[in-house]
Structure 1
């Protein structure tokens, strides 16, 4: 799966790692729905770090489309709220 972090690039993440990323995404979703700015900022950073840690940088000159798009590290709660689906930023 190719996950794009806006403003940063694409990462190849194995399907086996999606469970861990879904758990991190759930914390982001909970914080956004509660309107908790501090918890949201920490949770978003943890999710993005998870993608960086579990994934590998996708070829920079590749034209492959992303399977998922995550907000940039400095995204606001309101911006992420607009991106959320019913099951968070990462479906599943």
Structure 2
């Protein structure tokens, strides 16, 4: 699976990381829907950290379509309300 973090780069994640990534995405959605700004920041930072620590960065000249698009680090809580809703940004593993 290829994940792009806007303002950063693309990362290749092993398929066995899809479930945990989806759980982190769902946690961000839950925090946003509850209006929990501190919880949102903590969970969003954890989501991005998960991708960076479990993924392998793609070379700058390696052009591959992304399976998941994540907002940049500086996404505000208000902006997150437009991005993280419903089922979030990461498709459920069964749907992928």
> Residues of 1 paired with 2:4 and 2:91: CA distance?
14
Q: CA deviation at 1:77?
A: 1.8
Unmatched segments (≥5 aa) in structure 1: none
In structure 2, the CA distance between the partners of 1:15 and 1:85, relative to structure 1 (3 Å rule), is farther
Unmatched segments (≥5 aa) in structure 2: none
Q: CA deviation at 1:83?
A: 2.0
What secondary structure sits across from 1:4 in the alignment? Answer: strand
Answer yes or no: is the 8 Å Cα contact 2:21–2:50 preserved in 1: yes
> Residues of 1 paired with 2:67 and 2:43: CA distance?
21
- State the superposition RMSD in angstroms: 1.2
* Residue of structure 1 in register with 2:29 after alignment: 29
* Residue of structure 1 in register with 2:86 after alignment: 86
> Residues of 2 paired with 1:42 and 1:74: CA distance?
13
Q: CA deviation at 1:19?
A: 0.9
* Residue of structure 1 in register with 2:4 after alignment: 4
Aligned length: 92
> Residues of 1 paired with 2:84 and 2:38: CA distance?
18
TM value normalised by structure 2: 0.88
* Residue of structure 2 in register with 1:53 after alignment: 53
> Residues of 2 paired with 1:79 and 1:15: CA distance?
29
Q: CA deviation at 1:85?
A: 5.1
Which stretch of the first structure deviates more once superposed, 43-52 or 82-91? 82-91
